[in-house]
Amino acid sequence: MAVGDIVNGIGATGSTLTFQPAVSVSIAITSCGSQNNLVNVSNGIIDATFGATALDYEGTANVKVMINNAVYLSLPSSANNMCYSGIQIK
């Protein structure tokens, strides 16, 4: 992948959706979908939730969160499908 490439993923009901870029790659996540579920960034030990209020009933949120190999996106197992979209910035 190269700078400017679009990244996205979809997780099925009951699965955990984790996106951890390769070492030296940075991604700007621009949208997440996870109806009635949490959206987290994680470092493998600590999960920090963001945007929970916006996601509670709407199902999607426009976000601006930068992730890399050390701090990455994690959408925990849910009764709903999940998704994300972003762009590689490094």
pTM of the model: 0.82
Three-state DSSP state, 22: coil
Answer with the residue of higher pLDDT: 16 or 20. Answer: 20
Tokens in use for 85? 């979209």
Residue 55: predicted pLDDT: 47
Residue 3 has pLDDT above 90, yes or no: yes
Side by side, which strands form the sheet with 82-88? 6-11, 82-88, 27-34, 60-67
- Three-state SS letters, 26-84: CEEEEEEEECCCCCEEECCCCEEECCHHHHCCCCEEEEEEEECCCCEEEECCCCCCEEE
> Could you tell me the domains of the chain?
6-88 (2.60.120.340)
For residue 13, what are the contacts with CB-CB under 8 A and spacing of at least 6?
Answer: 78, 79, 80, 81
Residue 16: predicted pLDDT: 84
pLDDT tens-digit map of 18-35: 999 999 999 999 988 777
Residue 4 has pLDDT above 50, yes or no: yes
